[in-house]
Structures are given as C-alpha cells and as structure tokens.
C-alpha cells in the first residue's frame, strides 16, 4: 500500500533555513534513522542502540561513499514514540552555511533516506497521534507569525486552545445522541426518562457555545494573516512616503514625479504587536499610461480585498467630489490620512478653495513623514479600528484562526440547530438524530479525527520543508 509504504520511509531534511549561519539542523525520521546516522558516523548498523535518548553526542561525520570527513556535529537520538514525529528521529546539528548541511542531507539520501516533502515531519506527527489537526495548523502559524499577537494566538492553538474546546463540544454532541437514545428506548412510558425539551435545551446550549467560538474567527483570521491595509489616493499624495515611514525602511520608491509606483508593494508591519499587511499602490487617476494603468488595476483589486484603506490626501488641500466618490465606493473602513502636515503648517500646499465635502464616519489623521508628527496617533487608530475587540478583551485569545475551522464550526452549529428544530416539529427522533451524526463529523474533521486527503494536503502544503 502506497500510503503505508510512504509512512515507513525514512525521511531527511534540513530544518533550518538554507544560507550562512552558525548551526544548521538536519532531521531524520523513520525506522532507519538510527542506521542512517550510524552510516554517517562510520559505525555499524545498530551502534546507536546503546545511546542515551535525547542526549547530544559529538561525532565526526563522513561521506559514506568517499570516506571524506564532512563536519564535526552534534547527533541526538529521539527513539519513537517519544519524539516529535512519534517515529525514531535523529537530529544532527552541523555547522551552517552553503555546503555542509546540504552535503550531510545528500549523504543521508545516499544511505537510503528520502528527501522529505513540505510539512512531512508534522504530518507524521499528526498521523501518529502526536498532534491533532488544529495543532498541526498552529505549528505552521507559529513559524509564519510576523507579529507578537499572531504568535500568541498560534501558541495558544498549539497548546490545544481550540482542539480542547472542539473535543469538548464533540463529546457534548455524543452525549446528546446518548440522551436521545434513552428517550427513544422508553417511548411508551407515561413519563419518558428524558423529556424532549431537556434535549432541545442542551442542543441550544451547544449551538450557543459554537457561536461563541465563531465570534472569535474574524479577529483570529486577521491576527493570523495580518489586516490587509491598502494605501490609496491621488498620485503624489504621499502614499509611498507614508508606506516607508510605517515600514521603517526605504522600501517604496519615492519621487516628485507623479505615477512612480506602478505595482503594488507589500510589507508586513507589527503595530503594537498586531500584524498589518501594508500595500502601497499606484495613485488612482484617469489618463495614465499603460504600465501605470495596470498598476491602478492592481490597486483596485487590492482595494476589493482590503480590511482597511488609508486614503492619503494632502493636509492643506480640500477633498474634491472625486475623492469622496471614491471613498463612498469602498466597502472597507477608511482612515483619511492628511499628509504633508509640515507643508500645510507653512501654507505651501495650495488650498483650492473648495468647501471640504463631508467624509463623515471616516477617522481623519494628520501626519507628516518629514517631522514624524501624527504617525504614532495613526498607528493607534489602525490598531483600534481593526483589532478593537482583541485590544479590549486583553486576556481573551481568539481561538478560531482559519476559514477551514470556521466553516466546519458553522456546519456543526447548523446541524445541531436543525436537530433541535426537527425535534420541535415532531419529526421522529431517530430521523432527527442524523443531524447530530453530521455535527459530530464536522467537529471531528476540525480535529482531523477524520480528514479527507485533500484537506490534509492543503494543511501540510503550506509548510516549509523540514517542518
């Protein structure tokens, strides 16, 4: 069987990123890990049998083919099942850099290991019951986290913050099925041991708990992915300058010539620990050249997916009807950033004399990237606008972080709700119970107790090699 065979393969990969560094970590996992490590150390097949588990041993590694010395490395054996993957696992800490780790991986392959696919170590951990699927997802999130709050959420999920609650809901649904069986088994008695309204009340209680979890999903997803924050505005309104000021480096090209930014540039920044994906776009205007028009198209596409729009407009200049029309066309919340405040203060920005049209409902923050004025306030506004719920409920860590989890929770809630309604409308309890079975399956799919292959593929595909 292909699946089983793949599991018993011994896999190898560098777990640290490639490139120059003091150390690199290479992992071997599978039944032949110890034997392959011995091959590197020039010792016989089961020479690792006497090794103390989880203790580093400094050894000279050699290429098994040429006998050439490769590196002096720290070799540690983690016998299964008490290892990350649940299998025999060997970690080899070599010196870092461009050649040593790659050569050691290559030597492991020569000795019979297979290069691991992305996420395969964690996938094995999951398949061997070391992690549930929400924890495996958390491993990916933890590695990818680019702001402290994103890390907090991922770590909480790795500690089974979500898994435990879903497992608890699952046992409540199973308990409900058991109550129903009790009810069905005594249909003719005057007083059924379990009255239907008690069952209905318990179902409603479960729906309420799922809804509470689901309420954390928007913040959870934003924390995981970062709030897409698009800088928009006319050419020369100071978008790229603001982008650079917020990112803290000179990433976007800033010039005095209108229409310099022709593509979208993205950077993730951490504002008070909260992640924002900042997108600098081409200025919005008609009559631009082809390349710039493409940039404007990209801007519009980003605007459709934006969680927040920063509309840049010079502090001293009045907003025109076009600006307001544009703002009204947006579905995302908008912060109007009044740029170049330093110039407005000395009257160097032309005020076209129009009455400022109303931009009611938008926060408006004056800033100057030259003096830095207003930037702190702008960051506070961003944070509060997107993450207010999380900021206010400081000790509440959002637990639902992915569409996959939210979708299945919604399914579970809908099924339990349908169950309650079916009971209420006099549908036979045996028939209504099918909804509970479906709810149970949805919850199990969150945990990965049952998970279709394509779900697993999607979860593990986003990992890097060596995780």
Ligand X SMILES: Nc1nc2c(ncn2[C@@H]2O[C@H](COP(=O)(O)OP(=O)(O)O)[C@@H](O)[C@H]2O)c(=O)[nH]1
Positions that interact with Mg ion (CB under 5 A): 239-240, 261
**Closest residue by Cα to residue 244 from 127, 153, 381, 339:** 339
Closest distance of CB 258 from ligand X, Å: 6
Cα gap 98→78, rounded to integer Å: 27
Structure tokens at 416: 């339990």
Give the DSSP per-residue string, 116-180.
Answer: PPTTHHHHHHHHTTSS-HHHHHHHHHHHH--SHHHHHHHHHHHTTTTHHHHHHHHHHHHHHHHHH
Per-residue binding letters, 340-379, with ligand X (x by CB under 6 A): x-xx------------------------xxx---------
10 Å CB burial of residue 197 (0-12, 13-18, 19+) is exposed
Binder of residue 416, out of Mg ion, ligand X, none (CB less than 5 to 8 A by kind): none
Which residue from 241, 401, 405, 438 is in contact with ligand X, where contact means CB under 6 A? 241
14 vs 244, beta carbon nearer Mg ion: 244
Binder of residue 368, out of ligand X, Mg ion, none (CB less than 5 to 8 A by kind): ligand X
Q: Please say whether the beta carbons of 412 and 210 come within 8 A.
A: yes
83 vs 261, beta carbon nearer ligand X: 261
Closest distance of CB 259 from ligand X, Å: 7
Rule CB under 6 A: say whether 192 interacts with ligand X.
Answer: no
125 vs 282, beta carbon nearer Mg ion: 282
Per-residue binding letters, 246-285, with ligand X (x by CB under 6 A): --------xxx---xx---------------------x--
Measure the CA dihedral 389/392/394/395, to 10°. Answer: -80
CA distances from 465 to 3, 26, 132, 224, 413 (A): 19, 11, 20, 21, 36
Binder of residue 378, out of Mg ion, ligand X, none (CB less than 5 to 8 A by kind): none
Binder of residue 340, out of Mg ion, ligand X, none (CB less than 5 to 8 A by kind): ligand X
Binder of residue 134, out of Mg ion, ligand X, none (CB less than 5 to 8 A by kind): none
Instruction: Quickly list H helices, 305-447.
Output: 321-329, 341-345, 375-392, 403-424, 429-447
The stretch near ligand X (CB under 6 A) out of 46-54, 198-206, 338-346, 438-446 is: 338-346
Give the DSSP per-residue string, 102-122.
Answer: HHHHHHHHHTT-EEPPTTHHH
**Which residue has tokens 């809901």?**
169
76 vs 240, beta carbon nearer ligand X: 240
User: Does residue 289 have a cis bond before it (omega within 30 degrees)?
Assistant: no
Which residue from 56, 235, 320, 407 is in contact with ligand X, where contact means CB under 6 A? 235
Which residue from 39, 119, 163, 238 is in contact with ligand X, where contact means CB under 6 A? 238
The residues binding ligand X (CB under 6 A) are 233, 235-241, 254-256, 260-261, 283, 312, 339-340, 342-343, 368-370
């Amino acid at each position: 069987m292909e699946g089983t065979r793949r599991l018993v393969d011994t896999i190898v990969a560098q777990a640290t990123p490639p490139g120059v560094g003091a150390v690199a970590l290479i992992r071997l996992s599978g039944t032949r890990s110890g034997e392959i490590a011995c091959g590197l150390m020039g010792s016989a097949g089961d020479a690792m049998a006497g090794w103390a588990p989880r203790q580093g041993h400094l050894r000279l590694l050699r290429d098994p083919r040429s006998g050439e010395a490769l590196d002096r490395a720290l070799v540690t054996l983690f016998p299964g099942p008490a290892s990350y993957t649940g299998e025999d696992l060997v970690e080899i800490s070599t010196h870092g850099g461009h050649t040593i780790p790659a050569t050691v991986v290559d030597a492991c392959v020569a000795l019979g290991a297979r290069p691991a696919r992305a996420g395969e170590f964690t996938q094995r951990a999951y398949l061997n019951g070391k992690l549930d699927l929400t924890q495996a997802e958390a491993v990916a999130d933890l590695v990818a986290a680019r702001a402290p709050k994103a890390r907090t959420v991922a770590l909480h999920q790795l500690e089974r913050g979500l898994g435990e609650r879903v497992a608890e809901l699952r046992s409540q649904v199973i308990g409900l099925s058991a109550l129903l069986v009790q009810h069905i088994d005594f249909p003719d008695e005057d007083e059924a041991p379990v009255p239907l309204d008690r069952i209905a009340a318990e179902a409603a209680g479960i729906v309420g708990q799922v809804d509470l979890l689901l309420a954390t999903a928007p913040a959870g997803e934003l924390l995981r992915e970062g709030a897409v924050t698009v800088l928009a505005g006319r050419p020369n309104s100071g978008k790229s300058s603001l982008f650079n000021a917020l990112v803290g480096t000179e990433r976007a090209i800033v010039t005095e010539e209108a229409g310099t930014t022709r593509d979208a540039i993205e950077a993730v920044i951490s504002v008070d620990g909260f992640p924002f994906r900042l997108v600098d776009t081409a200025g919005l205007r008609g009559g631009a050249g082809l390349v710039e028009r493409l940039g404007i198209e990209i801007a519009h596409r980003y605007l459709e997916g934006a969680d927040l729009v920063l509309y840049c407009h010079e502090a001293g200049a009045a907003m025109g009807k076009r600006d307001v029309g544009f703002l009204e066309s947006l579905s995302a919340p908008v912060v109007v950033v009044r740029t170049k405040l330093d110039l407005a203060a000395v009257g160097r920005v032309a005020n076209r004399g129009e009455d400022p049209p109303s931009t009611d409902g938008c926060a408006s923050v004056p800033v100057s990237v030259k003096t830095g004025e207003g930037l702190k306030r702008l960051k506070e506004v961003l944070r509060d606008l997107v993450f207010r719920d999380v900021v206010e409920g400081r000790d509440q860590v959002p637990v639902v972080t992915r569409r996959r989890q939210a979708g299945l929770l919604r399914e579970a809630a809908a099924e339990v709700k349908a169950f309650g309604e079916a009971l209420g409308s006099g549908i036979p309890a045996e028939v209504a119970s099918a909804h509970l079975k479906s709810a149970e399956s949805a919850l199990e799919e969150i945990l990965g107790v049952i998970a279709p292959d394509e779900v697993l593929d999607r979860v593990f595909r986003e990992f890097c090699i060596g995780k």
